[in-house]
Structure 1
Amino acid sequence: MNIVIFGANGPTGRILTEQAVAEGHMVTAVTRHPETFPHQNARLQVVRGDVFDLSSVEHAVSGKDAVLSTLGVPFSRDEITVYSQGVAHIVQAMNKYNVRRLVCVSSSATEPHYDPQGGFIFERIIQPTIIKTIGKTLYTDMRRMETLVKNSKLDWTIVRPSGLFETPAVTPYKMAETYIRGRFTSRADLANCMLSQLTNDQYLRKVVAVGTFAVKPNMLKLIMREAFQKKH
């Protein structure tokens, strides 16, 4: 399949690109800084682009079979628009060139569910603090993005991970529609989940939650990393 990945130079985007090439896809990786992109392959084209620039988005989308978005920015108290504006341009470009399949990353924090197994500190202190304070503008924009995607006429899937962290390889992760009882998601698992949507219609025009259960990260390190680096 001929696919384009937006947010390809982020932590998840790089893993997604590597996995997609390994699976035999032709991949166009879009990044503002192609000179820093770590991967090279005969099936990989790295192009300079910015989701705020509609013309560069259209150029990247033209002729593709599917679009995958791992757009991400750090938490900020300032207004964030990269998710909604970026995906608005992606949807516009897909409509222009009749590209149907869209898979994009959001977050379980856009629609939090109480989990009694999460523990008092996480459920009552950590999660509300992140969602309502340092992550407020980010998750607000993610919700705008989700609404835009759901209102499109595309063949979309929204993927919601939780507490992204690193694992050296894909684990036996789990998926469920809308919500899954899990606080963490490996980036490798998230990338694999996204790719699986290209050949499976189970979650077509649905939200799918993905969780990692075989391993768990250090909670404090995870929070610090998520607060100060790109989300995806």
Structure 2
Amino acid sequence: MKLVVFGAHGGTGLHLTRQALELGHGVVAVTRRPGEFPVVHPRLTVTGGDVYEVEDVAAAVEGADAVLSALGVPFTRRPVTVYSRGTANIVAAMERHGVKRIVVISSVSTDPHPHGEAGFLMNKVIQPLVTATIGRTTYADMRRMEADLRATTLDWTVVRPAGLYDADRVTAYRLEEDRTDGFRTSRADLAASVLAQLDTTQWVHRNVAVTTSDGAPSLLQLMFGEALPRR
């Protein structure tokens, strides 16, 4: 398949790009810094583009079989629009070029809830604090993105990871609709779960939460290693 990856230069986007190439796909990696992209491969095209620019997005999407979005920005108290506006431009480009399949990365924190595996500190202190303060604008924009996708006629899937951390390889992970008891997701497993959506229709028009179930760090390790998770 020919895949277009938005947010390709981010932590998860790089995993997506590398894993897609390993699976034999052709990849168009969209980044604002094409000269700095660290992956080189015969089936990889690195293209400069800004997701806010309609024509940049349309040019990248043309001829694609599917689109994968790993868009993300650091937490900020200022308004965030990259998820909703960026995805709106991607949707418009897909409709323009007749591309139907899209998988986007969101977060389980768009639907805050107690995580059965997390305990008091995560459920009663950390999650409420983050979602109400530094993560508030990020998660609000993710919710706008999810709502906008539901209103389209595309074959969309929203993948919702929990707290993100880095791992060298894909391990065991589990998928659950909408929300999960788990609170940790490796970026490698997140990328693998996104790519797995291309081989199934099970989660089309649905939200799927993904969490790592093998070798995930403890809550303290996650806090110290990933104080501000990237996406």
TM-score (normalizing by structure 1): 0.96
Give the number of aligned pairs. Answer: 231
**Percent of pairs with identical residues:** 48
Report matched runs for 1:33-112 at 5 Å.
Answer: 33-112=33-112
Q: Alignment partner of 1:174: what SS?
A: strand
1:180 Cα shift? 2.0
* Structure 1 runs of 4+ with >4 Å offset: 224-229
- Aligned match of 2:145: 145
- Aligned match of 2:212: 212
Report matched runs for 1:114-153 at 5 Å.
Answer: 114-153=114-153
Partners of 2:148 and 2:37 in 1: how far apart? 29
- Aligned match of 2:184: 184
Partners of 2:141 and 2:52 in 1: how far apart? 14
Say whether the 8 Å CA contact 1:74–1:226 is kept in structure 2. no
Aligned-residue Cα RMSD (Å) equals 1.3
Q: Alignment partner of 1:103: what SS?
A: strand
1:199 Cα shift? 1.1
Residue 164 of structure 2 is aligned to residue 164 of structure 1: yes
Say whether the 8 Å CA contact 1:74–1:227 is kept in structure 2. no
Say whether the 8 Å CA contact 1:87–1:145 is kept in structure 2. yes
1:17 Cα shift? 0.1
Partners of 1:96 and 1:68 in 2: how far apart? 17
1:177 Cα shift? 1.4
Residues 6-30 of structure 1 deviation map (CA, whole Å, 9 limit, x = unaligned): 0000000001000000100010000
The residue type equivalent to 1:125 in the other structure is: V
Partners of 2:221 and 2:142 in 1: how far apart? 24
1:35 Cα shift? 1.3
TM-score (normalizing by structure 2): 0.96
1:196 Cα shift? 0.6
Distance 1:58 1:225, change over 3 A: farther
1:225 Cα shift? 5.8
The residue type equivalent to 2:176 in the other structure is: A
- Aligned match of 1:8: 8
The residue type equivalent to 1:149 in the other structure is: L
The residue type equivalent to 1:20 in the other structure is: A
Q: Which structure 2 segments of 5+ residues have no match?
A: none
